[in-house]
Structure 1
């Protein structure tokens, strides 16, 4: 009998009874948006879980990125990696600024601070770095560069829900602002949604206002804002799901550890993300398929698909190869060798809570022997 397909991820869902209880509250209050009581409870619970004090909830992380850039008045150049989901660079453009691509570190696959420094000009206003696969950037080095050059430092932390640095502090407290994604595919989701982690209450309130059209009160609008508000329905999903997250991350860690142990001796395969590291969330399990492996990355990708196992080439193609960006001077492939190698070699294997061990063993067997 043919087994059902296995995709690279599968969303976790909160207990339906818990959501229904919150739905009844919404139906009784008839408050659906505009910072209602469910959203306020979710915001407080989320802050306690993450260990952060100031959160501005948004309806998706892409608009959260735009809002962060607009809040800081960024209209010049923003240094960012080409190895990311396209939303990172799209947000820069939608905010009225221009992306400048800098190469990544070949080990962590995060923005390389030395390459960032090379890209700084008199038009540079900000750095938008990405905690790729939830692996923290070199926040100390990037912070030093930003301070020395007077730049804003914003983190696309879409992959980094719950991730902590070596001191146990939330990685989202680094830089000027960090943006989380609560999309359905993430470690934690509200179906659609996100959050901006702010350094203080004043900034949080300014972001809330900017995300509500710039409205101060019934007759006062201070700025050209957006509508980035999270609804009560999405907040209810998040509030009901939050108690399940630790168990889900623990399950991800077990799956990641099995992958790493089983593939550690396979020539030409490197597991990108660490296992057994306190504070990691195991959002993806990316491997690099390099020299010494019997087939190329794309051949392995195709071989897995033959068995209904849908790995993903995250991130391929590079953002800098897309038609709206490839003519930028910073998109020159010769200046982005590490990003180019990652785009050609990385394959994310299926990982999600509840992945059937039989299916994981099928994946492992094919990676071990693709021919």
Structure 2
């Protein structure tokens, strides 16, 4: 191998000249955390960009999901997807609730509303759905199920920064949506996240939970956590946010190039068609079918031999992990679509400054693997 490694993603960073004025403000004020002026400015700018009125910025999306569940006192069953990053289920457990798996739609790989409805029991209190790869869930179908059964609907929108559905921000759906600003995401603050709230009262309640439940110097009304974002992380977000339209456009270009090159290869099934209005091209997932020359793991290893670090994302299913595989809902026969998806999925490298020559290397190997 003579070429340098190509990783599945690479974080976008603001330039040092863009970040320096914010750092000077931090050093000048010596306010480092506790909802400082940069954090407040970041929340306002972020809400404007996303097209929502109210959100609470937090230190990471995992704790954002925990706060979302805690806000509504969810301690019973939460129906969720087995085809996600493990943080989705871990948050349910950390909140003191019980995850229940339901199967996914074979096309979107998101929770199937019919499967969710079939999993409801008297102990069910909420649905936690995932906009996988930034592809919106069947929000109408899930909302209908939640409404008819009196359930809270919370979205793990970690992948869905800036995504719109029918011209409206997808993160405005449900009771709450939680976005991730981790280094691997479309928009990052190194670490961070936000909870999109439907109204000011809910936002204020989330703000209190994110700061130990403190109301004022002598009043603590809730058993909260410390999930506040620092001024330094807010500075990164403020510096990067103005560039997001061009960043997403660059991701779209790379996704389109993959699609044009790979969509006609037998056995390679591209899941996220480019050019969809409101999509963010968070990832470029493919399914490696039986009519391809290699198995999914065979292609994964072939790419690794050439220094290309694709990712089997999400594999294994959360329901196959030791912490969850003993749950009744983890039985394979109940996850007829999730299981083959996990066995066939492969996400290809995608980031805004992926060089064309590196993308050509990836495409050539997939086109001629043997």
Q: State the TM-score, normalized to the length of structure 2.
A: 0.99
Cα separation, 2, equivalents of 1:142 and 1:369? 41
Instruction: Report the more deviating stretch, 243-252 or 89-98.
Output: 243-252
Secondary structure, in 3 states, of the residue corresponding to 2:337? Answer: helix
Report the counterpart of residue 64 of structure 1 in structure 2: 64
Deviation readout 1:66-111 (Å, 9 max, x if unpaired): 0000001000000000000000000000000010000000100000
Q: CA deviation at 1:2?
A: 1.7
Cα separation, 2, equivalents of 1:47 and 1:197? 9
Alignment of 1:181-260 (within 5 A): 181-260=180-259
Secondary structure, in 3 states, of the residue corresponding to 1:191? Answer: coil
Cα separation, 2, equivalents of 1:146 and 1:100? 15
Cα separation, 1, equivalents of 2:208 and 2:345? 40
Cα separation, 1, equivalents of 2:112 and 2:141? 9
Report the counterpart of residue 263 of structure 2 in structure 1: 264
Alignment of 1:34-45 (within 5 A): 34-45=34-45
Cα separation, 1, equivalents of 2:223 and 2:42? 27
Cα separation, 2, equivalents of 1:274 and 1:337? 24
Secondary structure, in 3 states, of the residue corresponding to 1:179? Answer: strand
Which ranges of 4 or more aligned residues in structure 1 deviate by more than 4 Å? none
Alignment of 1:154-193 (within 5 A): 154-166=154-166, 168-193=167-192
Q: Where does structure 2 lack aligned partners over 5 or more consecutive residues?
A: none
Alignment of 1:1-371 (within 5 A): 2-166=2-166, 168-371=167-370
Deviation readout 1:253-287 (Å, 9 max, x if unpaired): 00000100001110111111121111000000000
Q: CA deviation at 1:18?
A: 1.8
Secondary structure, in 3 states, of the residue corresponding to 1:103? Answer: coil
Deviation readout 1:19-56 (Å, 9 max, x if unpaired): 11101101111111111100111111111110001010
Cα separation, 1, equivalents of 2:290 and 2:108? 18
Cα separation, 2, equivalents of 1:297 and 1:337? 18
- Provide the alpha-carbon RMSD of the alignment: 0.7
Cα separation, 2, equivalents of 1:111 and 1:370? 33
Q: Where does structure 1 lack aligned partners over 5 or more consecutive residues?
A: none
Secondary structure, in 3 states, of the residue corresponding to 1:337? Answer: coil
Cα separation, 2, equivalents of 1:126 and 1:88? 13
Q: CA deviation at 1:150?
A: 0.1
Cα separation, 2, equivalents of 1:269 and 1:122? 42
Cα separation, 2, equivalents of 1:239 and 1:186? 16
Secondary structure, in 3 states, of the residue corresponding to 2:168? Answer: coil
Q: CA deviation at 1:291?
A: 2.2
Cα separation, 2, equivalents of 1:256 and 1:24? 38
Deviation readout 1:143-196 (Å, 9 max, x if unpaired): 000000000000000000000002x11000100000000000000000000000
Secondary structure, in 3 states, of the residue corresponding to 1:125? Answer: strand
Deviation readout 1:111-147 (Å, 9 max, x if unpaired): 0111001000000000000000000000000000000
Q: CA deviation at 1:7?
A: 0.2
Cα separation, 2, equivalents of 1:174 and 1:271? 27
Cα separation, 1, equivalents of 2:17 and 2:332? 52
Secondary structure, in 3 states, of the residue corresponding to 2:165? Answer: coil
Cα separation, 2, equivalents of 1:313 and 1:264? 19
Cα separation, 1, equivalents of 2:180 and 2:78? 20
Cα separation, 2, equivalents of 1:226 and 1:137? 29
Deviation readout 1:311-351 (Å, 9 max, x if unpaired): 00000010000001000000001110111011000000000
